[in-house]
Amino acid sequence: SIEAPPERRRGDALYHALRFDEYAGVLQAEGLVYGEELGDSLFDDGSDAGWLAEVREIYAPDRIRRLFRAEFQRQLQDAEMAEAVAFYQGKTGARSVTLELSAREALLDPDIEAASVERMYTMKADGDPRIAMVEAFSDANGLVENNVVSALNGNFAFLDALTDAGQGPFVRDRGAMMSAIWEQEPEIREETEEWVLSFFNFAYTPLTDDEMAEVIAFSNSVQGRRLNTALFAA
């Protein structure tokens, strides 16, 4: 058989080290929660079985894995990522992935999510230095900015498709659609900052300060930044 090129093997190794096959299942669970809330806000009778079936199909784990993996490999096809593979196959990198995955699953419980937000604000008010490390990690990966852009793009895609179907408030005034989306930016940014800090503060609680410093240092490295770009693109 023909052996895969080194860059493809590294991409596969990173994909598995980041445990994205497992993440896809969590993303579906999160998507179903969001989809049901969205349906309840859109329809007088709330989310029905047909709507939820559509949402489940959109967030089907096999579909997410296929789309993500293809773009992830494309983004990394010309990249030398040996150091990234070594980091995420190593103790601290592998532990950070496990902790993030566990936290995403745990935060599906709204009570746990609310408690994580409250804890983050308490630590911030107390000047806990750990929050500064979480902020440094967020800044290194551009987590707030990238997630704000993703949210705005998602809102545009949703409203644009709704308008194309002759539905929603912007059928007669598409120009107002962009204005309405940009008006949401400050609120989206505030919510994103809260979520990012509370999530990673919660997820990385078991990491020592030295381990946090390792994660931040990798995020600030050339390969860390390149990997982060590929993850957001995918």
Helix (H, G, I), strand (E, B) or coil at 195: helix
Given a contact cutoff of 8 angstroms between Cβ atoms, the answer to whether 39 and 51 are in contact is: yes
- Average pLDDT score over the chain: 92
Helix (H, G, I), strand (E, B) or coil at 173: coil
CA-to-CA dists, residue 26 to 18, 108, 115, 184, angstroms: 14, 9, 20, 27
* Residue 111 pLDDT > 60: yes
Q: What is the pLDDT of residues 149-182, one digit of tens each?
A: 999 999 888 888 888 888 777 877 777 888 889 9
| Better-scored residue on pLDDT, 192 or 2 | 192
| Cα–Cα distance measured from residue 38 to residue 56, given in angstroms and rounded to the nearest whole number | 13
CA-to-CA dists, residue 36 to 23, 28, 187, angstroms: 20, 12, 22
Please, which pLDDT band fits residue 3 given cuts at 50, 70 and 90?
Answer: low
* DSSP state, residue 90: S
Helix (H, G, I), strand (E, B) or coil at 49: helix
Q: What is the pLDDT of residues 196-215, one digit of tens each?
A: 999 999 999 999 999 999 99
Please, which pLDDT band fits residue 144 given cuts at 50, 70 and 90?
Answer: very high
Alpha helices in 43-77 (DSSP H): 49-58, 61-76
- Amino acid identity, position 94: A
- Amino acid identity, position 141: N
Q: Which helix (H) or strand (E) holds 6?
A: helix 6-17
**pLDDT over 90 percentage in the chain:** 77
Q: What is the pLDDT of residues 28-75, one digit of tens each?
A: 999 999 999 989 988 888 889 999 999 999 999 999 999 999 999 999
Given a contact cutoff of 8 angstroms between Cβ atoms, the answer to whether 37 and 200 are in contact is: no
